[in-house]
């Protein structure tokens, strides 16, 4: 009798301990993912940083990599923002290093020394919790053991990033009730609305955890092949890069349609436009464009070497799986299979999600004008 009671009691205690362990391990961020130092940075991080892999498909060994920076203000209340660079194929460490991450990188004194990291006073982490995600697998530090996963497209990427989010918010449950935003730039103009739609669908289906999506941000984004493709000629003219005469000619022979217009006369005039803007920096016409042996924006040599060292620190990354880390990979066979983003934007905004579509005005072939038109067509 006593024995039975004892064993029952032991079971209860064991269960309680297990339960506590479960509660402890699921109630807060995984300590093993905590980052407390980076080469080149002296001092204490102004907020907690985490990094690691989330396995979204065990069978395939499909792993998405993230770097998470907690808000430096009030992490428990501030929004959680997912950041995605575009490509397709660009690592979101692009945004972390060059755009709005917690550090500014001061180049090393010699070619081989590490850069010095200083705190960035304009980091988005000043006011929000940011998840930098390398997506889809094959990009940045994200990888799959089954290389067939590198043949992918818009919809698969959205489904996978959604699977990542569900797991990530399980690992970091204390952030489940924070307002959640999805953001990105360039080709992420496709990633963001397609992922937001997956999240909305998942919430409707009652998937757990429910994601507290409030809205999304797209910077210099891709939206619609026709509107985007038609924007270049008027932009080049507006910026004085092509003559009035050429603009009039091209508009006339192409009948105002510069996208996928394969009449020979139109092609001939478009070739003249291309010649006039050849070798300009398409990201910013005011910036020099580096040619030949010099560095380009996507040249790995232009990156802080500490990033290339990441796989060699005490917490080795899966270097054997990913090969050498690249800012923008050519490994993917990527299909733009989601079509125009206009109806995604319409549906999301009509459902009450907040949208911020922003563009760097006047300097980018990739952005100017293309937003203006479709935004007015979509009737926002």
Ligand X SMILES: *[C@@H]1O[C@H](CO)[C@@H](O)[C@H](O)[C@H]1NC(C)=O
Contact segment (CB under 6 A) with ligand X among 123-131, 210-218, 223-231, 241-249 equals: 241-249
- Alpha-carbon distance values, 241 to 211, 255, 271, 297 (Å): 46, 20, 14, 22
Q: Which is nearer to ligand X, 309 or 349 (CB)?
A: 349
Select the residue interacting with ligand X from 128, 129, 249, 328 (CB under 6 A): 249
Beta bridge pairs of residue 355: 216
Q: Which is nearer to ligand X, 32 or 245 (CB)?
A: 245
Binding mask 133-162 for ligand X (x = CB under 6 A): -------------x-x--------------
Q: How many residues does the chain have?
A: 380
Please give the residues from 54 up to 113 whose contact with ligand X meets the rule CB under 6 A. Answer: 110-111
Angle between helices 188-204 and 154-171 (to 10 degrees): 60
Q: Residue 243, interface with ligand X (CB under 6 A)?
A: yes
C-alpha dihedral, 338 to 339 to 340 to 346, nearest 10°: -40
> Residues binding ligand X: what is the number (CB under 6 A)?
13
Q: Pull the structure tokens for residue 86.
A: 């575009």
Q: Which is nearer to ligand X, 47 or 347 (CB)?
A: 347
Q: Which is nearer to ligand X, 34 or 297 (CB)?
A: 297
Q: Residue 204, interface with ligand X (CB under 6 A)?
A: no
Angle between helices 188-204 and 342-350 (to 10 degrees): 40
- Alpha-carbon distance values, 138 to 88, 144, 187, 301, 359 (Å): 10, 7, 16, 20, 28
Q: Residue 245, interface with ligand X (CB under 6 A)?
A: yes
Contact segment (CB under 6 A) with ligand X among 174-182, 214-222, 223-231, 343-351 equals: 343-351
Q: Pull the structure tokens for residue 21.
A: 């362990």
Nearest to 91 by CA among 336, 326, 311: 326
Question: Within 13 A of 161's CA, how many CA atoms are on the CB side?
Answer: 31
Contact segment (CB under 6 A) with ligand X among 50-58, 228-236, 239-247, 309-317 equals: 239-247
Q: Which residues bind ligand X (CB under 6 A)?
A: 110-111, 146, 148, 197, 243, 245-246, 249, 272, 343-344, 347
């Amino acid at each position: 009798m006593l024995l039975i009671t004892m064993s029952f009691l032991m079971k209860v205690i064991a269960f309680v301990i297990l339960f506590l362990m479960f509660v402890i391990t699921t109630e807060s961020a995984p300590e093993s993912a905590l980052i407390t130092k980076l080469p080149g940075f002296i001092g204490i991080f102004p907020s907690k940083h985490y990094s690691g892999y989330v396995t979204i498909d065990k069978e395939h060994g499909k792993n998405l990599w993230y770097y998470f920076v907690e808000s430096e203000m009030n992490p428990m209340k501030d929004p959680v923002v997912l950041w995605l660079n575009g490509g397709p194929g660009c690592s979101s460490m692009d945004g972390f290093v060059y755009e709005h991450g917690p550090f500014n990188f001061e180049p090393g004194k010699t070619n081989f020394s590490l850069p010095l990291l200083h705190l960035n006073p304009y980091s988005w982490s000043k006011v929000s919790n940011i998840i930098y995600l390398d997506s889809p697998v094959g990009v940045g530090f994200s990888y799959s053991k089954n290389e067939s996963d590198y043949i992918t497209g818009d919809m698969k990427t959205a489904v996978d990033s959604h699977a990542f989010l569900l797991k990530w918010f399980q690992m970091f449950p204390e952030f489940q009730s924070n307002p959640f935003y999805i953001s990105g730039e360039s080709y992420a103009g496709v990633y963001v609305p397609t992922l937001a739609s997956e999240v909305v669908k998942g919430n409707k289906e009652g998937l757990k955890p429910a994601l507290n999506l409030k809205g999304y941000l797209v910077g210099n984004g891709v939206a619609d092949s026709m509107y985007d493709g038609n924007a270049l000629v008027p932009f080049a003219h507006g910026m004085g890069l092509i003559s009035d005469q050429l603009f009039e000619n091209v508009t006339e022979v192409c009948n105002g349609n510069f996208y996928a217009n394969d009449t020979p006369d139109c092609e001939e005039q478009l070739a003249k436009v291309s010649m006039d803007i050849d070798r300009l920096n398409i990201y910013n016409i005011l910036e020099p464009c580096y040619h030949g042996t010099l560095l380009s924006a996507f040249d790995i040599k232009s990156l802080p070497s500490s990033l290339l060292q990441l796989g060699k620190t005490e917490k080795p990354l899966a270097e054997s799986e990913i090969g050498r880390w690249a800012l923008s990979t050519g490994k993917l066979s990527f299909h733009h299979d989601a079509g125009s983003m206009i109806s995604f934007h319409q549906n999301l905004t009509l459902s009450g999600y907040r949208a911020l579509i922003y563009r760097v005005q006047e300097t980018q072939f990739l952005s100017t004008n293309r937003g203006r038109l479709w935004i007015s067509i979509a009737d926002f």
